[in-house]
Structure 1
Amino acid sequence: MSLAILILVSTSSFTIEKHFCEGFLINFSLFNNLEKCDDIPCADKCQNENIADADCCSDVIDVVEGQDVFPAKDFDDLDYNQQVFLFAFTVSFNELFNFTSVSKTRYKNYSSPFLITNKLVDHQTFLI
Structure 2
Amino acid sequence: MKEKLHRFFACLMTVALLFSTTSFKVEKHYCMGHLVDVAFFSDVQDCGMEMVSDEAASILDEESCCDEEMLTAQGVNDVKPSFNEFHIEHQQFLIAYTYSYLGLFEPQINQNISHRYYLPPDIVKDIQLLDDVFLI
Q: Normalising to structure 1: TM-score of the pair?
A: 0.41
Q: Normalising to structure 2: TM-score of the pair?
A: 0.39
Report which of the two structures shows the higher radius of gyration computed on alpha carbons.
Answer: 2
